[in-house]
Structure 1
Amino acid sequence: MPQDRPPVAGPRLIARHLSRAFGGRKVVQDLSLSVLPGQVTCLLGPSGCGKSTTLRMIAGVERADEGEVLIDGTLVEGPGLHLPPEKRSVGLMFQDFALFPHLTVADNVAFGLKADKAAKAARVAELLERVNLSGFGPKHPHQLSGGEQQRVALARALAPRPKVMLMDEPFSGLDNRLRDGIRDTTLEILKEEGAAVVLVTHEPDEAMRMADEIVLMRAGQMVQMGAPYNVYNAPVDKAAAAFFSDINVIRGVSRGALTETPFGAFLTPGHADGGKVEIVIRPQHLKIDFDRAGRGPNPTPQDGTPARGTVTRARYLGRESLVDFRMDFDGSILTASVPGVFLPKAGTALWLMIRRDRCFVFPAR
């Protein structure tokens, strides 16, 4: 079991107004976050948005142009101050694992430990057992699978009991079959250790699976921050919604806080009268009205107005089928996700409805 830590009052990690520029271009702009003990915060966004640079500033590998970093209330980065990584009590994990090939598994795990021989051996044995690698101590990295190397890298990073664990795409080198199980094992151990965890990823599924809090980044800035449920179900804009899944977009004009669409009128308060809006809905919330198939629309107050589309393509993805429709009202393509197997032929006309409570309305850009 992990050694008990003294309780920490408040966040274990605080980053305030971090900024960094390269060649006059700001890669990170005014980013702030805080992470509690045992909390996992994911920096999520496309390649080049500043995720890894943020992580490197927190680690001390990169110097911040502006801002501060505090670990357990102690300033480690700020104006005139830049502590190196080894003095910050941070653990680092990268996608290439960075194991020393000439050292055994046990020696890799013990590398960063400052203790006597017996204490080192006990800590190494404890961690190898917790990552399900008991008995692997004498082996060398080349004798291990990718998943086993990842677990050795985790054990090595955790060995000195860091206060903050920083992980940059640590699972991207693993195949999909192994990835989920190793993520779950890693998450369980990190929670037990009580470190504040910052994980960089460009995969929304990984962030949703592992994070207590997601920081969505774009062009060096924080776009949205919150629990996975909130970031997914209350995106701040169309691009944020589209980052997590495919989306359908229905365009219209707001008049008197209402926007008329082929699916009926939508409430659009807060949008300028005469302003163009985009109504965003995910494929799983676009419903095929099987009851009305072939009979035409017969709307009820509960489900709104159905609109007709013609199937252009259908494909089966295992758990669901995706069906593309060319809509009668404007020729646009909308995609519906249907659980299980549903593969109508191209040219089939069907009526569609949308879940109004699952729609997002944004000003058109």
Structure 2
Amino acid sequence: MPEQMTKSALPSVQAEGHEVTPRLEIRNIRRFFEGRAVVDDVSLTVLPGQVTCLLGPSGCGKSTTLRMIAGVEMQDEGEIYVDGKLICDTLFRVPPERREIGLMFQDFALFPHLSVGDNVAFGLKGPKDQKRARAHELLDRVSLAQYIDDYPHQLSGGEQQRVALARALAPRPKIMLMDEPFSGLDNRLRDGIRDETLSVLKEEDTAVLLVTHEPEEAMRMADEIALMRDGRIVQQGAPYNVYTRPVDKAAVAFFSDVNTLPAQVNGALAETPFGQFLAPGVPDGTDVEIVFRPQHLRIDFDRNGRGPEATARDGVPARGIVQRARFLGNESLVEFRMDFDGSILKATVPNVFLPAEGRAMWLTVPRDRCFVFPR
């Protein structure tokens, strides 16, 4: 038996009051191309029935990480485990076809010369009638059983995506790796098919690792988000925590537009035209940025050159002049040029709010919606 197979099993993870061995565990994996680390010390775990999303911009190492887990590419450092058993390090390697890992990609890659049923059954072994029964079972779960004898070209893009899902689930994989599988779908179909796909995967108790560059998709599907940048995971946690407790300005900006106020810290306070912001633990003289999202900027009317009263929660109001207002369907975007330095701040407001260009209005920044980061 190879030495690598004798390594101790992974520690269990506490989940809902009992210990669960991670279905997938990757430890400190690295991959170098031409001396550059495209995946740099990445570690994560995925439990049975859990959806974890690798979220980040193109080129950050997401897909390379997936390929190493699938076994189609070898890591230069680190280890990969399934159900506590080593499947790959830099010396020992279980071949891809024995890893019990399913794959779904943007390109569904259905075989055009095979029927829908034969596409789903393609990776199965055993008697033909058993394979057809399994194909029918899965096609029924994705509401396509009536098309079992049709061919891929007779289906819509959304239907082909569901066939690809059924094919990937047919061998009952322990883990499903999904690389931007919905990006080629029409926006009107995408939400429904994502929800349908997630429901089927949860019912199968499959551990899912989903790669996407779309924050909305990650927030909609994931139980946990791993935010990647330049080959590294910079933040990991539940979607709510990643969104509301970002590690830096770039993490805030990846999920939405941001407004930024420059400031300098003195006595744990950052002074701005909107008043003071708390900056505990930041040394005096440190240049910082106050970062907040457009939906958190509060707008008030001008009252003969005066704005609302300052409060501890919202700070000091500052005046801005409307530069542009646009209705975006479910919200309005208003851009203001600020009196204090001529900078542009953006505010979003639910429903229709279209103040005239050149109108003076007063803005405040709620303190509990702001982040202070070193500049």
TM-score category (smaller protein): over 0.9
1:11 and 1:302 mapped to 2: Cα distance?
Answer: 43
Shift of 1:72: 1.2
Per-residue CA shift, 1:133-156, capped at 9, x if unaligned?
011111111111100000000000
Per-residue CA shift, 1:291-346, capped at 9, x if unaligned?
85853343234432111000011100011000000111111100001111111111
* Correspondence 1:100 to 2:111: yes
CA contact (8 A) 1:12 1:35 kept: yes
Alignment counterpart, residue 152 of structure 1, candidates 163, 174, 178: 163
Alignment counterpart, residue 173 of structure 2, candidates 155, 162, 165: 162
Equivalent residue number for residue 44 of structure 2: 33
Equivalent residue number for residue 94 of structure 2: 83
2:312 and 2:157 mapped to 1: Cα distance?
Answer: 56
1:221 and 1:24 mapped to 2: Cα distance?
Answer: 16
**Identical amino acids, percent of aligned pairs:** 71
Equivalent residue number for residue 3 of structure 1: none
1:22 and 1:68 mapped to 2: Cα distance?
Answer: 18
Equivalent residue number for residue 67 of structure 1: 78
SS in 2 for 1:127: helix
How many equivalent pairs are there?
358
Shift of 1:126: 0.7
Per-residue CA shift, 1:149-183, capped at 9, x if unaligned?
00000000000000000000000110100000000
Per-residue CA shift, 1:255-283, capped at 9, x if unaligned?
01001111111111121201100000000
SS in 2 for 1:138: coil
SS in 2 for 1:179: helix
1:327 and 1:34 mapped to 2: Cα distance?
Answer: 46
Q: How does 1:2-21 map to 2 (within 5 A)?
A: 9-21=20-32
CA separation of 1:308/1:142 partners in 2, compared to 1, >3 Å: closer, same or farther?
A: same
Deviates most, 79-88 or 154-163: 79-88
* Correspondence 1:240 to 2:217: no
Equivalent residue number for residue 371 of structure 2: 360
* Correspondence 1:332 to 2:343: yes
Equivalent residue number for residue 110 of structure 1: 121
Deviates most, 336-345 or 116-125: 116-125
2:304 and 2:80 mapped to 1: Cα distance?
Answer: 60
CA contact (8 A) 1:288 1:350 kept: yes
What code does the residue aligned with 2:242 have? V
Question: What is the TM-score normalised by the length of structure 2?
Answer: 0.93
CA separation of 1:28/1:254 partners in 2, compared to 1, >3 Å: closer, same or farther?
A: same
Alignment counterpart, residue 259 of structure 1, candidates 235, 258, 270: 270
Unpaired runs of 5+ in structure 1? 1-6
Equivalent residue number for residue 316 of structure 1: 327
2:249 and 2:299 mapped to 1: Cα distance?
Answer: 24
Q: How does 1:123-138 map to 2 (within 5 A)?
A: 123-138=134-149
Equivalent residue number for residue 153 of structure 2: 142
1:82 and 1:154 mapped to 2: Cα distance?
Answer: 27
1:78 and 1:303 mapped to 2: Cα distance?
Answer: 53
Unpaired runs of 5+ in structure 2? 1-17
2:90 and 2:47 mapped to 1: Cα distance?
Answer: 24
